[in-house]
Amino acid sequence: MSVRVDVYFGPATLPPSEWQGRVVVVIDVLRASTTMATALAHGARAIIPFESADDAVARFKSFDRSEVLLAGERRMARISGFDLGNSPAEFTREVVEGKTILMTTTNGTAALMAVQGATEIVLGAFVNLSATVAVLRHAIRNTLGIAVVCAGSERQFAMEDAVCAGRMLRAVSRRLATAHWNDAARAVVALDRRYGKDIEGCLRDTVHGRALAEAGFSGDVALAAALDTHAIVPVYAERQVTPLGRPRRR
Ligand code: MLT
């Protein structure tokens, strides 16, 4: 049977057995996957995703205050009482180094938590594109399937995630010439060809890019459009996100 290359839009609710034997890349360019890559690149110890703010707060109580930060947004704004929102600019080395970050975002964390059961789950964005492509190449060498989950916005298709997915798949498409591509996987490659030449322009023109600019987060769009700022791949395993290759503390 040939290897599968599938793209899904929105949190993909497949049974865990469907994810087995596949590397899953979860993309939320604006802004969760960009922000998580930035946090880990700046020395955060781990990120633990939660679907609800209440769950994050409940878990927060089990940590020593000096080692943990609460982060997350609703309608793009920082959740009241939290240390950080979801802006990559906030996750500086001074703020996050050595910390465990308990995080909840509207779409990104839910998309991540929906794919449990995969052989490997990583987070991709433009800021860590080449590092993520290296993970895909490794998966292909090991004849694993590839699934890309584009988190989207409010369960809708989001152009920024699709173009990023297309860019990643285009980088490995020659090695996957005999693979079975779903229609969404073929479509994102075409979208990257059409819209990927000016990434920042593309992001600024998306629904969420415009909403972020209106909400005062224009700088985040520029940060999210920058290619390969961080040579890091966030991996989600055992309920936490840590950088690929770093030994996991329990
Ligand atoms: C999300 O997870 O929905 C986003 O990252 C929203 C945002 O903060 O821009």
Q: Is 179 inside any structural domain?
A: yes
Q: Is 248 inside any structural domain?
A: no
In this prediction, residue 116 carries a pLDDT of 81
3-state SS string for 151-192: CCECCECCHHHHHHHHHHHHHHHHHHCCCEECHHHHHHHHHH
Domain around 217: 4-236
Pocket test for ligand 1, best of 9, 34, 73 (most atoms within 8 A of CB): 73
DSSP annotation of 107: S
Q: Is 106 inside any structural domain?
A: yes
Residue in the structure block whose two tokens are 């399937």: 145
Q: Is 249 inside any structural domain?
A: no
In this prediction, residue 97 carries a pLDDT of 98
In this prediction, residue 15 carries a pLDDT of 81
Q: Is 49 inside any structural domain?
A: yes
Distance in Å, CA 179 to ligand 1 centroid? 32
Say if residue 51 is exposed, middle or buried (CB neighbours under 10 Å; 0-12, 13-18, 19+).
middle
In this prediction, residue 20 carries a pLDDT of 87
Q: Is 189 inside any structural domain?
A: yes
90-116 residue pLDDT tens: 999 999 999 999 999 999 998 898 888
Pocket test for ligand 1, best of 106, 127, 160, 207 (most atoms within 8 A of CB): 106
Record the tokens describing residue 26, joined without a space. Answer: 């979860």
What pTM, to 2 d.p., does this model score? 0.96
In this prediction, residue 247 carries a pLDDT of 63
For ligand 1, is residue 22 a contact (CB within 6 Å)? no
For ligand 1, is residue 104 a contact (CB within 6 Å)? no
Distance in Å, CA 104 to ligand 1 centroid? 9
In this prediction, residue 117 carries a pLDDT of 80
Contact 24, 147 (CB under 8 A): yes
Q: Is 244 inside any structural domain?
A: no
- Can you list the alpha helix ranges (DSSP code H) found in the chain? 16-19, 32-41, 53-60, 93-96, 108-113, 129-141, 159-172, 183-195, 199-204, 207-214, 218-225
Contact 99, 131 (CB under 8 A): no
Distance in Å, CA 220 to ligand 1 centroid? 11
Residue 28 gets the label, from left (phi > 0), alpha (psi -120 to 50) or beta, of beta
User: What's the CATH number where 153 sits?
Assistant: 3.90.1560.10
Q: Is 242 inside any structural domain?
A: no
Q: For the chain, list residues with pLDDT below 70.
A: 1, 247-250
**For the chain, how many structural domains are there in total?**
1
For ligand 1, is residue 73 a contact (CB within 6 Å)? yes
